[in-house]
Structure 1
Amino acid sequence: MKYEWIDEYCLCKKGTVKDFKVEWDAIRYLIGGKMFAMQGGDKEKKAIITLKCDPLFGQSLREQYQHIVAGYYMNKEHWNSVYLDGDVPDDVLKQMIDMSYELILGKLSKKVIKDIMEENS
């Protein structure tokens, strides 16, 4: 796989928990019990990572990169999937992971956010 750093990068984010969803055959990265990234495959088993994005930013990325598509099996407006055999630059993918993490974190309660940010401080 081209993006060997994805697992470590997702797990370095405060409060991230990783699990494996058998029914989806996918690894999920969660914050406060909510998924911000999912790594699995499409119907042809091609490796993808699915991330939440600001809708306008996500649309712009899909227009710019052929290996970024509307979220596979997700809300097409808010989620994007990146083919991991593609040519999306590392910095763009990291920016997408960061945005997804921040968007999900921002939806959590103030108490949960506070607990996450104080964890291992």
Structure 2
Amino acid sequence: MGTNNSDIIIKLQKETDEVLEVMCANTDKVKERGEKLEVLDDRAMQLLESGKVFQKTAKEVAKQERFKNMKWKIILGVTFGLVALIIIIVIVCFILSSKPKDSVTPSTTEKTVNGQ
């Protein structure tokens, strides 16, 4: 019976050692996964911060582009306004210069002076 008991104890000891090895391996895997999760969490935080910076920069660039577009629209509007004003002034001057003036002819003046 002593051999039988010692065989059972040896067998149980081997099984315990195997379970212990599996548990140690599982613990190592959990530690590795934890480390990998920490790395992923750090990367996610960095991406979040980078995304915020990108969003802020994109808004600033869009604002600058709107300002540039508005500036060009104002320049074009003023230019077209000035061209229209010049055209109107030229047309008015042309109309006024081609309109017959109340010109006084010498014969009309003489008739008026002589009383005729």
What TM bracket, shorter-length normalisation?
Answer: under 0.3
Structure whose residues are more often strand by fraction? 1
Which structure has the higher relative contact order (CA within 8 Å, separation 6+)? 1
Rg larger for: 2
Question: Normalising by the residue count of structure 1, what TM-score does the alignment of the two structures yield?
Answer: 0.18
